[in-house]
Chains A and B, each alone.
Chain A
Amino acid sequence: MIVHALAALLQTQVPGLPEHRVANIFKPLASPAQSEYEIAVFVIAITTVIFVVVGGLIVFTIVRFRRRPSDDTRQEPPQVYGSNQIEVAWTVIPILIVFVLIGVTARITAGVQNASPPASTVKVTVIGHQWWWEVVYPDFGLTTANEIHVPASPDGKTATYLTLRSMDVIHSFWVPQLSGKTDLIPNRDNFLWIDPKEAGIYLGNCAEYCGTQHANMLLRVIAHPPGDFEKWMAEQQKPAEQNPQMTEAKAMFESLSCINCHTVKGTPAVGKFGPDLTHLMSRETIGAGVLTNTAENLRNWINDPQVAKPGCYMPSMKLTDQELGQVVSYLESLK
């Protein structure tokens, strides 16, 4: 057990990549987020100036024209009904400001939406499910889940081109340091490309309310340093390891209804309803980010997923202790 835990612990450390846990939109690390950051700063600057000027005026008025105890209450102040010049002034100036804002918005909007990605791109299709992410690499014939591995792009020459779809309801892809949101909508394809400047793990969330476990539909984008992505890909494309010591546990797993919902490549398990488990142990988390992928967590998850993620669509399989042990040890062999 301890060995397992240690191994699992080590495993989560293996990528050795820095984790960006605080997803601050003002620390952008990819092109779309960068453009959004620039316009954000610009707009905040303008609105701050407006706030200071107008707010200052209001506060000044409140303080300056408050009634003093010495004032004669029967004496009304001069009755001023308005002034057309002033009216025009404070109509025209905001209009001018708004036009500047519209111009900048138009440029950046078109810039982000219509920019074509760098020539060297990895294509990924991300499919939203209630409450996990299916990740497909069509050019590599690979399907995984929840953690999106992409090449980092320190020189800005490689990008990942995402096609966003949904199997059920609307979800939204949001990894703040890489890009703003784009929804995953059933019956419709949306697109987005990202080029993480630094290798690392970027956290994000599903950002469109999608039902009970919307809160735990977390996103992880793992940007590999140059060269590593290909290594990762090569590992993933292998079928599940055939560990001869595992035949009994494997048979146990395959006799359970897990295989109706999950796929383990190269075995009879070909279900499509839940995440692909072929290389489960290469993932850092389970259940779309609710738990770290440790032996103990995995065991608890399979024992009853409803504890960690109440309402999720994997039922508690009510396994006996022995079955549970075997299934877990089998899953742990899926490197």
Chain B
Amino acid sequence: MASIDYPLEHPKIHPREFSFSETLYAWVATVDHKRLGLMYIVSALIFLVIAGIMASVMRIQLAVPNNHFVDPDTFNRLFTMHGTTMVFLVGMPIVAGLSNYLVPLMIGARDMAFPRLNAFGFWIFLFGGLLLYYSYIGGSGLSGAGSAPDVGWFAYAPLTEKAFSRGASSDFWALGVMVSGFGSIASAINVIATTISLRCPGMTLSRMPVFVWVMLVDAWLILVALPPLSAAQIMLLLDRSLGANFFNTQAGGSAVLWQHFFWIFGHPEVYILIFPAFGTLSEIIPIFSRKPIFGRPAMVGAVVAIGFISLGVWAHHMFAVGMTSWSNTFFAASSMLVGVPTGIKIFNWTATMYGGKLRFATPMLFCCGFLLQFLVAGLTGIMLAVAPFDWQLHDSYFVVAHFHFTLIGGLVFGVFAGLYYWFPKATGRMLSEKLGKWHFWLFCIGFNMTFIPLHFAGMLGMPRRIYTYAAGRGWESWNMIASIGVIFQAAGILFFVWNVIQSLRFGERAGDDPWDAWTLEWATTSPPPEYNFEKLPVVRSSRPLWDLKHPQDPDWKFE
């Protein structure tokens, strides 16, 4: 039962420039967790821009009533592909990418537990994504013209059955998403095995960085939540290809069963998506407040609690299907209970900042944006969880606003914070602070301008997933403002892209530890060598670098 069964590799010295094909080969054939992590993140960002452009087209269409910018089928494909891409090809690879890159570095390991499985996971994920997009060329949509899925990101049966979705579009949806899901499962098993087995000496569970804890619970959620989706997709594919009857209501099949299976996956999925942001905040806020995270055990406990409670709330997406009042109340109650551990996290982050010396570098700005926006998002979540209120809000733009607040105001802000924070580690160069501030403010203003008004449109009765609407129903101005906001968001993202391109070449040299941080990844060079650490580190507290920098006042004396 030895823990470290790697032979000690010697530093490889690269004396010459590599040719393009050599570099390409090195990346394609790599099993290095850092390269795979970066490839995950880069593909996620590319998909973010693609799906963001789709969203922009939707916002153009919805800016004014009775618009004919795109036709109905195109619009339906846009929101389906936008949602599916954002969830499965942006959110999921962000999870895998951040945990791949950071977990081994943070726990003082030389690689993931199963490097080849890791590479397999990435490529199968990418294959699934490309398969999904291939549908734009090779599929055949609801109305017969070769095109992408148009059944919404949760693809409710029986709309996806052969009778209502002819052609192959729904097959592409099910196959593409299922295949990329296998990649996520592979990477989740890997993260679990890595954190459990490859921790460096002294890195007990109680000393593990909160980020690693969060990703561990995240991997657990992936393992139990993704298979239900795969199972339902297998059933759907059997229905569509072999004439099985799982969701065939003509043969007595149930239309509600799909919804149960989908949301048994779907609800945990939204926490799977938000966890990386929880993780990055838990690392960044302490560093920029110059204080240890407040209430470490409570923070970890809250994440574990969310990891379990969130498995039992799925039917809050189904309050309108006509469940008994008992079931409705049960799911309302469990949903609201998730607010308690989530609240604990928000309070502890704030308490970490309280009494500190806050430095508002770009990563910290994004964290502050997160705190306020996620607070709003969570509270609108509570409103949705109140079943009778949800009968009004369900499937309206209020829901759209709620989940963009969680996903952009939460996830995307948290991820940007992380990217600004760890970019120096991964590339050896700082991102420009000036461009970073532009990015933050434009994106923050644009985001709020887009999604605050949509709450009101929803409360005025605007349903989601409509390609157009009539004038005079009170929705025009809200939609107009929302659409204008996208311009600012896009500008913000452009600043980010520019910042990355610019800084990769001309950015200020970062050094090993530009933020004066406390976790192990900052103890190695930037970028880290292939084997991460020359000698495996040994730790005695949850802030090993703090101990090193403050020998007279180390953490381990108090733990």
Contact = CB atoms under 8 A, between A and B. Distances in A.
Interface of A: 21-26, 32-33, 35-36, 39-40, 43-44, 47, 50-51, 54-55, 57-59, 61-62, 65-67, 71, 76-83, 86-87, 90-91, 94-95, 98, 101-102, 104-106, 108-110, 112-114, 130, 168-170, 172, 174, 176, 179-183, 185-188, 190-191, 203-215, 218, 310-311
B340 A187 contact: no
A179 B461 CA distance: 11
B197 interface: no
B256 A185 contact: yes
Contact of B142 (A90, A109, A211): A211
Contacts of A86: 295, 351
B353 interface: yes
15 contacts: A22-B473, A40-B386, A40-B389, A58-B346, A65-B356, A65-B357, A77-B355, A81-B558, A82-B298, A91-B298, A105-B336, A182-B391, A183-B320, A211-B142, A212-B76
Contacts of A170: 156, 158-159, 255
Contact of B463 (A104, A105, A169, A174): A174
Contact of A36 (B159, B353, B389, B473): B389
Contacts of A208: 156, 320, 395
Contact of A65 (B253, B295, B358, B553): B358
Contacts of A78: 291, 355
A80 B291 contact: yes
Contacts of B343: 54, 90, 94
Contacts of B394: 172, 180-181, 207
Given A61-B354, A66-B360, 14 more contacts: A54-B375, A61-B353, A81-B295, A98-B337, A114-B325, A130-B164, A170-B158, A172-B395, A174-B461, A185-B256, A188-B322, A211-B159, A212-B150, A215-B72
A25 B461 contact: yes
B340 A215 contact: no
Interface in B149-205: 150-152, 156, 158-159, 163-164
Contact of A90 (B76, B347, B358): B347
Contacts of A179: 391
A229 to B, nearest CB: 24
Given A170-B255, A210-B159, A215-B72, A55 B320 contact: no
Contact of B460 (A22, A44, A108, A186): A22
Interface string B309-337: 00000000000111011001100110011
A168 B164 CA distance: 8
Interface of B: 71-73, 76, 142-143, 150-152, 156, 158-159, 163-164, 249, 252-256, 289-292, 294-298, 320-322, 324-325, 328-329, 332-333, 336-337, 339-340, 343-344, 346-348, 350-351, 353-360, 368, 371-372, 375-376, 379-380, 382-383, 386-396, 459-461, 463-470, 472-474, 550, 553, 558
Contacts of B339: 94, 98
A314 to B, nearest CB: 14
B167 to A, nearest CB: 13
A327 to B, nearest CB: 26
B395 A54 contact: no
B294 A81 contact: yes
Nearest to A175: B461
Contacts of A40: 383, 386, 388-389, 392
Contact of B383 (A44, A205, A214): A44
Given A39-B386, A105-B332, A209-B152, A183 B354 contact: no
B333 A25 contact: no
A43 B392 contact: no
A311 B333 CA distance: 41
A44 to B, nearest CB: 7
Contacts of A215: 72, 465-469
Q: By DSSP majority rule, is chain A's interface helix, strand, loop, or mixed?
A: mixed
A101 B296 contact: no
Nearest to B254: A187
A67 B142 CA distance: 57
10 nearest CB pairs, A to B: A180-B391, A23-B461, A215-B466, A22-B474, A82-B295, A186-B249, A190-B322, A187-B249, A47-B379, A181-B320
Most buried by B among A47, A55, A179: A47
A212 B73 contact: yes
Query: A81, A172, A188 — which one has the most chain B CB atoms within 10 A of its CB?
Result: A81
B320 A182 contact: yes
A109 B472 contact: no
B466 A91 contact: no
Contacts of A51: 375-376, 379
Contacts of B152: 209
Contacts of B382: 43, 47, 101
Given A65-B358, A102-B333, A105-B333, A214 B389 contact: no
B460 A183 contact: no
A109 B461 contact: no
A23 B354 contact: no
A207 B460 contact: no
Contacts of A207: 320, 394-396, 463
A181 B355 contact: no
A170 B156 CA distance: 8
B289 to A, nearest CB: 7
Given A58-B350, A62-B368, A105-B332, A43 B383 contact: yes
Contact of A98 (B336, B391, B395, B467): B336
B383 A47 contact: yes
